Structure 1
Amino acid sequence: MDYLTLPADLPVPEDDGATDHLPGVQAPNLSLLDTAGRAVRLDALGPRRTVVYVYPLTGRPGTDVPEGWNSIPGARGCTPESCAFRDHFHDLLEAGAGRVYGLSSQDTDYQREVVERLGLPFDMLSDPALALADVLGLPTFEVAGMRLFKRLTLVIRAGAIEHVFYPVFPPNAHAQQVLTWLRENPL
């Protein structure tokens, strides 16, 4: 399977309203480990905007994704999404993002390999217990005995969620969507 190319017939996720409650909500006092080994507190990210794109799981070459992955709306596309954030990273910073993080339930060692393999210029956050989903009521789904985040992006500023992108589709164009929003909503 080519993790960088998205099939043309992927099902489009529907907006089920699962994140409508989030804009204006305070970021939780929750520490997550990043791929540099630091504890990152989401409520203490500072006054600049932080973009946190949340996704189900990143596949690895030679490792199968769960059966039926391509038929789950919004599941496929984590690697192309991360590569797009990599490719637009400096543009995002110039448009007002203070930092960018990717976040999934995969452990820190797994995430560290993704950062190295994809050459990401930012750290990833690991939330194997899906604590962020539980505390904020983020949407999740189950597949192959795993509970995973649904794809969404949080823009956090001064300790509060300023904006939410949900659902995210197509994932490979999402970094551009975030960049456009940042440019259209300067501080």
Structure 2
Amino acid sequence: MPAPHAHLADAFAQLPPNLPAPVDDGAARHLPGTRLPAVVLPSTAGPAVDLSTLDRAVVFVYPMTGTPGVPLPDGWDAFPGARGCTAEVCSMRDHLAELRDAGAGEVLGLSGQAAADQRAAAERLHVPYPLLSDAEGRATRMLRLPTFELGGRTYLRRLTLVVRDGVVSHVFHPVFPPGTHADEVLAWLRTHEDAAAGPPSA
């Protein structure tokens, strides 16, 4: 299915070849079965979102969307799993209706970027779903989300949470390649939708 907003994607949506793939080091294995905390995060789609109120949702976590005209941090492309946030955001955008039809409920993106940066990305990429800002790291700490260090800064590692009744039912980690991750989530939802409301799976 061709991307309806392909002409709007900026240069960061095009991924370079031979990106290193991240490996599963077990850093997200504690998340299935975890109840989302009562943390309120700024949202690009209106009022702030209390994570504990999410009922049926897909929350994809990513390091940082690039900004046109601003160089990426040194070593970004060489760090496994860092590059591809814009491609992932656009992929979720282009498959949003299908994800909702498959039972995703809400679709939300979450990163440690400032709320202003999230708003700029949402406007530039025409993102119709909320992008949440955890710039203060409250959700990161309470959920013990995996992170990485690069250039003296801390970034969230890429993963996706399937949430049912406020509890993490399934975790995708690692996520690669990010530009087709929406297809992966969609395939899982279509196969596991009944099970998603039941016991958590790794």
What's the TM-score bracket when you normalise by the shorter of the two chains? over 0.9
Partner of 1:78: 85
Partner residue of 2:68 out of 61, 67, 87: 61
The unaligned stretches of length 5 or more in structure 1 are: none
The 3-state SS of whatever aligns with 1:56 is: coil
The 3-state SS of whatever aligns with 2:163 is: strand
Partner of 1:25: 34
Deviating beyond 6 angstroms after TM superposition, the runs of 4 or more aligned structure 1 residues are none
Q: How far 1:39 moved relative to its partner?
A: 1.9
Over the aligned positions, Cα root-mean-square deviation in angstroms equals 1.2
- Please give the per-residue CA displacement for 1:140-179, whole angstroms capped at 9, x wherever unaligned: 0111221110000111110110111000000001011001
Partner of 2:199: none
Equivalent-residue separation in structure 1 for 2:22 and 2:60 (angstroms)? 16
Partner residue of 1:109 out of 80, 99, 116: 116
Partner of 2:167: 160
Residues 1:2 and 2:11 aligned together: yes
Partner of 1:41: 50
Equivalent-residue separation in structure 2 for 1:186 and 1:140 (angstroms)? 29
Partner residue of 1:132 out of 139, 143, 166: 139
Letter in 2 for 1:32: L
The unaligned stretches of length 5 or more in structure 2 are: 1-9, 195-202
Partner residue of 1:15 out of 5, 24, 34: 24
* TM-score, normalisation: structure 2: 0.88
The size of the alignment, in residue pairs, is 185
Letter in 1 for 2:173: Y
